Amino acid sequence: MLRYTLKRAFSLGISLIVASLAIFFVVEVVPGDPASFMLGLNAQPDTISALRAELGLDVPKLQRYLAWVGGMLQGDFGLSYTYRTPVTEMIGDRIWVSLPLALYALTLSTLIAFPAGIYAASRRGKTGDMTVMGATQLGIALPNFWFAMMLVLIFAINLRWFSAGGFAGWDKGPLAAMKSLTLPAIALALPQSAILARVMRSSLLDVLGEDFMRTARAKGLTRHQTLMRHGVRNALIPVLTIIGMQFSFLLAGAIIIEQVFYLPGLGRLIFQSISARDLIVVESVVMLLVFLVILVTFFVDLAYAAVDPRLRTRT
């Protein structure tokens, strides 16, 4: 198990290095001169050279890359050009909106999808299955930001149960903060849970056809006991993969949903930075998002090993 963990950690490190290289290349090498890019067409030559000096563009690219990575390792993402504040501070404020939102949505999605998927699989071909499958078919087709608008229309504008947007802030207490994240989380979670429920169902149906399920029945377990004791855990492996991939989708989806609900998260930050051509911020936020996704992949790999003893002993 330790060997497995070390191996995964090793490949986590490699992924991070390659990803940072890719981002650095796209943001700082492709546009030619980042300074004149950030300042736009009408910039004066002396402003450009001032910015070049400030960004440290005069030193070789490799050295710049190392300085960037070295800074990030110490928690220093540089200085935002537009706002003149450390990027670390800007991210620090906003990540406590985006990350809880993604986790909230992931939890909701899993809580809805597991029972729905297991129920559908256990009622295969019957009315209950058909109903759940029909609902998921619709759920998959929902664009989450449109669904979010509909939630606002119904629950905020008409019923007035929730506010239409904005974030209460964690200093108002966790409940108030969670409340302002609830509609966004539902909007994110429902379409994803439809997908997850379908994966859970089909994965369970695959397992139901396995020989060891018949063995369990021959021992005297009831159909339901067989499903819960031997089915679900075996069905979990493909489901874990999807949960991992969904997290990255929820993070990215959160960026869009933040626009619908005017939430001060990473998404807002990144769009503001794009229109302000603040490459420093864009680069840092993208790197952070990619870091989170890769980290989740790592944890999913560990979860595989926790579920499946074959992975623990092999390699």
Site string for another protein, 10-39 (x = CB under 8 A): x---xx--xx--xx--xx--xx-----x--
Residue labelled with tokens 């939890």: 107
Position 87 contacts another protein (CB under 8 A): no
Taking CB under 8 A as the criterion, the residue among 48, 69, 103, 245 binding another protein is 245
Residue whose CB is less far from another protein, 18 or 111: 18
Residue 274 makes contact with another protein by CB under 8 A = yes
- Count of all residues that appear for the chain in the document: 315
Q: What is the DSSP letter of 209?
A: T
Check binding of 289 to another protein (CB under 8 A): yes
Residue 220 touching another protein (CB under 8 A):
yes
Count Cβ atoms below 10 Å from residue 156 Cβ, excluding itself. 16
- Sign, CA torsion 47/53/55/58: positive
279 and 34 Cβ atoms separated by less than 8 Å: yes
Q: If binding is defined by CB under 8 A, does position 61 make contact with another protein? A: no
Tell me if 1 contacts another protein by CB under 8 A. no
Give the CA angle between residues 115, 119, 122 to the nearest 5°.
Answer: 140
Measure Cα distances from 35 to 225, 274, 287 in Å: 65, 14, 20
**CB closer to another protein, 177 vs 280:** 280
CB 182 within 8 A of CB 98: no
User: Using the rule CB under 8 A, which residue among 81, 189, 297, 304 binds another protein?
Assistant: 297
Q: Which stretch binds another protein (CB under 8 A): 7-15, 42-50, 95-103, 172-180?
A: 7-15
| Interaction of residue 300 with another protein, rule CB under 8 A | no
